[in-house]
Amino acid sequence: MENGETLKQQRIAVIGAGVMGCALIKGMLAAGRITRDNVWAVVATSNSQKRIAEELGIRVYRDLPVDEIAQTDTFLICTKPYRVVQVLDQLKASKALKPSGLVVSIAAGTTIKQIETALPNYAVIRAMPNTPSLIRAGVTVLAAGSHSQDDHMLVAQEIFQSVGKVWQLDERHLDAVTAVSGSGPAYIYLILESLADGAVKVGLPRDIAFQLVSQTMLGAAMMVQDTGKHPATLKDEVTTPAGCTISALLTMEDGRIRSTLARAVEEATRTAAGLGNA
Ligand SMILES: NC(=O)c1ccc[n+]([C@@H]2O[C@H](COP(=O)([O-])OP(=O)(O)OC[C@H]3O[C@@H](n4cnc5c(N)ncnc54)[C@H](OP(=O)(O)O)[C@@H]3O)[C@@H](O)[C@H]2O)c1
């Protein structure tokens, strides 16, 4: 089968079509990897049900419909973490699940063990995407459960490739991944805003500051990816002796910027580990 074709054979349910669930549906539709007939969604409120059905042109329910469950190959669980076990219990209670089906959960902190306990012997994949998935520039890391086979992983890869780049790691890394790429966009926004504040302080209009800083961040990130050079090497290459870059860098070091950012990731990892029990 051609790369990207596995998903076309699948019927997909998105349980919890909120910010992330809708981003995934839109991404899969835009990438041509699913058709509107082959995807359905569940939300909690009638407002969301009406809005999403109109916006995406798919079937949206407020309860889990047994006839749909019976025909579904892959369930994407995109509710808040504290709702996941309740949703899995409802799926099991329907007695309609295909034995060969797959559950993919994006809930932060909810472990594969928690999911496999609710659905014994079912194929499970845990995924950690991030919000740039909304513009198909996301990062997703996948971790396989104990009953997940290669073809299940292929399905999950194709889902998340439709909204960005995908890596596969052992589940023990997922709290760290949550802290790095899951929460990461927020750290970058804060850094972007701080640099723009500096630009405003030295006289640039704020809208220009945001454009210059965000494009500089994009360019610097692409330099790391395209050259494969260590960031420290790239930093040294733009640091002229007695120049302004080294003045800025030493000022940042005085503020302990490295350990502050690194410790922030460590703290977020600790918090991520507790989310599934909240
Ligand atoms: N946002 C991120 O950056 C990010 C990144 C990675 C992973 N995640 C994970 O993604 C998950 C969803 O986050 P989100 O930001 O997309 O949340 P969200 O926008 O609040 O979406 C949650 C959705 O779940 C629906 N829902 C609530 N109770 C339900 C139930 N019992 N059955 C079915 N659907 C139900 C809600 O319906 P209504 O609209 O009707 O209320 C809503 O559509 C979380 O577990 C989070 O940990 C989020």
Does ligand 1 lie within 6 Å of residue 83's CB atom?
A: yes
| Those residues with Cβ within 8 angstroms of residue 62's Cβ, 6 or more apart along the chain or in another chain | 42, 43, 44, 45, 46, 49
Query: Is 1 assigned a ligand-binding role in the annotation?
Result: no
Residues 81, 196: one domain?
no
CATH of the domain at 195: 1.10.3730.10
Residues 30, 113: one domain?
yes
Query: Is 77 assigned a ligand-binding role in the annotation?
Result: no
Residues 43, 90: one domain?
yes
Query: Is 20 assigned a ligand-binding role in the annotation?
Result: yes
| Pairing label, strands 123-128, 39-42 | unpaired
| Those residues with Cβ within 8 angstroms of residue 46's Cβ, 6 or more apart along the chain or in another chain | 62
Does ligand 1 lie within 6 Å of residue 7's CB atom?
A: no
Nearest atom of ligand 1 to the alpha carbon of 79: 24
Question: What is the rounded CA–CA span in Å between residue 73 and residue 40?
Answer: 12
Q: For 8-67, how does the pLDDT look when each residue is reduced to its tens digit (9 = 90+)?
A: 889 999 999 999 999 999 999 999 999 999 999 999 999 999 999 999 999 999 999 999
Residues 269, 242: one domain?
yes
Query: Which runs of E-coded beta strand occur in 78-187?
Result: 102-105, 123-128, 138-144, 164-168
The tally of domains found in the chain comes to 2
Residues 23, 107: one domain?
yes
| Those residues with Cβ within 8 angstroms of residue 52's Cβ, 6 or more apart along the chain or in another chain | 17, 22, 41, 43, 58, 60
The answer to whether residue 2 scores a pLDDT higher than 60 is: no
Domain of residue 20: give its range.
Answer: 6-181
The predicted pLDDT at position 278 comes to: 59
Residue of 33, 10, 238 whose CA lies nearest to 102: 10
Closest residue to atom 20 of ligand 1, CA basis: 18
Which of 129, 162, 181 is the endpoint of a domain?
Answer: 181
Does ligand 1 lie within 6 Å of residue 108's CB atom?
A: yes
Could you tell me the pLDDT band of residue 3, with boundaries at 50, 70 and 90?
low
Residue 31 lies in a domain: yes
Residue 1 lies in a domain: no
Residue 10 lies in a domain: yes
- Average pLDDT, stretch 103-109? 94
Could you tell me the pLDDT band of residue 147, with boundaries at 50, 70 and 90?
very high
Does ligand 1 lie within 6 Å of residue 174's CB atom?
A: no
Residues 112, 241: one domain?
no
The predicted pLDDT at position 9 comes to: 85
Which of 122, 157, 181 is the endpoint of a domain?
Answer: 181
Tokens 């292929």 map to which residue?
154
Q: Within a 13 Å sphere around the CA of 151, how many CA atoms are in the beta-carbon half?
A: 11
The answer to whether residue 4 scores a pLDDT higher than 70 is: no
Closest residue to atom 43 of ligand 1, CA basis: 18
